[in-house]
Amino acid sequence: LNSFFLFPLQMEPLLYAGFLALCSFALLLGGLFMLVVLLGLVLAVSRYAFKVAALASRGVTHSADYRQHLFDEDWKWLPWKFVGVSLVHGLVIGFLAVKSAALGVVANLLSSFLIPATLMVLINTCSLRAALNPFELLATVARVGKSYFLLCLFLFLLMQGAPMAAGMLAAVVPSAVLAP
């Protein structure tokens, strides 16, 4: 856990985050250029996040230890495969919600619960098919055990804390500085 929270303070991730934050100022220009910059930023962040997660899953938690031979060429496709999984989840949730609002809520909760397992399977197999296989996902949850539920709780708290922190910062930091 300490390595997870200290990772952004290492030199390479800190410089990369700073560079992307500077690039995000281009979003203030508006128009079509803003859309291109936003797509580029999302792609850059997601590719880096998947690379970091994949290396961390192999025990490499310090950016100074990143070596080219550790990188798998298939990792660059992981963000797109995750988008595919998200689209399939959305279609299933939408289909079930049309049938019954309660089914839609249950499907949405189940999808949210399985997102960490989906990422684990996707990173370890680089397979869209495996990441969509409910038996593979449930087997991953079972292998992780009780810690998986703790992970989901922790992720939920992080997701709730980010908007709260942004709201508190908005009161004291100019919006042009807060966006990056």
**pLDDT tens, position by position, 111-168:** 999 999 999 999 999 999 999 999 999 999 999 999 999 989 988 888 888 888 888 8
Per the prediction, the chain carries an average pLDDT of 88
Q: Phi first, then psi: give them for residue 76, nearest 5 degrees.
A: -70, -15
Q: How far is CA 89 from the centre of its chain?
A: 15
What does the DSSP 8-state code read for residue 20? Answer: H
141 contacts 117 by C-beta, under 8 angstroms: yes
Distance CA 15, CA 13 (A): 6
* pLDDT computed for residue 9 by the predictor: 85
Residue with tokens 């410089």: 15
Tell me the pLDDT band of 1, cut-offs 50, 70 and 90.
Answer: low
- Asked if residue 82 has pLDDT above 80, the reply is yes
- Asked if residue 55 has pLDDT above 90, the reply is no
**Which residue, 72, 71, 52, 54, is CA-closest to 62?**
52
Tell me the pLDDT band of 180, cut-offs 50, 70 and 90.
Answer: low
